[in-house]
Amino acid sequence: MRSFWSEPFLWIHLAGLAVFPLTLELTWLGLGIGEPSAFFWLELLVIAIGGILQPLLMQLYRPFYIFSVLLFSLKPEVLTTRQKQILQQLKSPRQKFFSLMAAILMAFVLWQLYSLAPMANTVTEFLPQSRILGIVIATFSFWLSNIFLQIPLSILGLLWLTDEKLEATELENQMNIQEQFTIPGWQVKQIIGLSNLSKLTNVTAEKTSSN
């Protein structure tokens, strides 16, 4: 077990993967509303751009700031060196490769969901049969699907690192977390329960590595 595995924020965001199947099901249900357009490729393009592109570009250029929970994020200035090294690893070429592969996979998944959409008609028949409504639901749900795949996937990439690899991570001289990462919600100095636990585990890890 790596010492940095005790960082609670890693596991919180990895757990988001559990929501992934639900968002895919909602996408499928959205696609089952209304009559498909004769220009099916246009519908697919709208959903793909709306669902895949933003999460992909975020992870490629301004990775999601993982030291956050729901509407609150830790202020960058309170992060430990270990936490900053974790953030730095999110910008590695390997992580970007994983993000790109995930986007390609999701494009294939979207095609499969679209092909299976007629099977959802019996479930969605009680809803207004507006195709525009269906596309809106499908696009938003598919965007959530990509979010709940891309972020946990980036965590898995981090968990694969060794302690030695993480400790050897050099921080940028002018590391501007505010500009280089996508920070959600309100920024606070601590998140009750998590902040103290995170600091404790980081101190323990640093003592362990120094012995």
Going residue by residue through the chain (211 aa), what tens digit of pLDDT does each one get?
778 888 899 999 999 999 999 999 999 999 999 888 888 899 999 999 999 999 999 999 999 999 999 899 999 999 999 999 999 999 999 999 999 999 999 999 999 999 999 999 888 888 888 999 999 999 999 999 999 999 999 999 999 898 898 888 888 776 789 999 999 999 999 887 665 555 555 554 455 445 5
pLDDT of res. 199: 55
pLDDT of res. 202: 53
Tokens of 116: 């299976």
pLDDT of res. 211: 53
> Which of 89, 94, 95 lies closest to 4 in space, CA to CA?
89
Amino acid at 71: L
Report the C-alpha gap between 191 and 94 in whole angstroms: 30
Backbone angles phi, psi at 37, to 5 degrees: -75, 150
Amino acid at 17: L
Alpha-carbon distance values, 66 to 83, 106, 158, 182 (Å): 10, 22, 11, 9
> Which of 150, 134, 152, 151 lies closest to 47 in space, CA to CA?
134
pLDDT of res. 192: 76
Give the predicted TM-score (pTM) of the model. Answer: 0.86
